[in-house]
Amino acid sequence: MKFYKYCASGNDFVVFADSEKKDRSELARILCNRYEGIGADGLIVVVPHDRYDFEWEFYNCDGSKASMCGNGSRAAAHFAHHYLKKSQYLNFLTGAGLIKSFVDDDMVEIKLSGVKDIKEAFEYKGRIWQGCNTGVPHAVTFVDDLNEFDINLCKEVRKKYNANVNFAKVEDDEFIRVRTYERGVEDETLACGTGMGACFYLAYLNQKVKDDILVKPKSNESLHFRLEEDQIFFRGKVKCCFEADYNFT
């Protein structure tokens, strides 16, 4: 079986297509292992769907399933268009619902699933937090300096609220920076699409930014986010790094 290694804004994924759905949690742990496997933040399996262009299975590197991954969905759309020869305009099913995407060479824009479960702001460990779900749950705190990012605090918040944890700095009304601690990886990652989406949406909700901005994650890539009819659109480059045949013996 041929595997494809993808990178999207600092998140990396192992991607392949199969003809049927099944539990691949153990396979995800094997392939995502950075020492004995291919190495990745997650595994994406593209499978057929009778109504949409495809459906996906998404696994974190620890083998746990995730409903949604913003950067992963852009990688899946790029793979489906360039390697499975599907249309530039794609509709595909995730655990968080239907995702729409447009692929223009290596630039991919997706429409995230609608924002839900917006929480009232609350205080925890001396910081003000707010939560929402942009495909998976996120907790966001706005800071003056991203060096305030505290990995131990992130672990506490992740455990207490079962959410990804984001520190966001608003540079101006068209630009924010974000650092994210992700469930499943259980560490800070270079980027998180749904996390950046949550930071953008809550910043807009609190009148900190406009409805069309740039977001930079830890990978330092500039990514474009916009809000249209209360839907988040997310655009950035995607790269297929290499193809590989993995030896299981």
Catalytic residues: 69, 192
CB-based contact 157:150 (threshold 8 Å): no
Is 62 strand, coil or helix? coil
- Spatial distance between the Cα atoms of 189 and 206, rounded to a whole number of angstroms: 26
Beta carbons within 10 angstroms of residue 247's beta carbon? 5
Residue 62 identity: D
Nearest to 233 by CA among 202, 207, 196: 196
- Spatial distance between the Cα atoms of 247 and 99, rounded to a whole number of angstroms: 33
CB-based contact 164:136 (threshold 8 Å): yes
CB-based contact 200:232 (threshold 8 Å): yes
**Backbone Cα Rg of the chain:** 17
CA 60: distance to chain centroid? 11
Element of type H or E holding 201: helix 193-205
Contacts of 172 (CB under 8 A, 6+ apart): none
CB-based contact 40:69 (threshold 8 Å): no
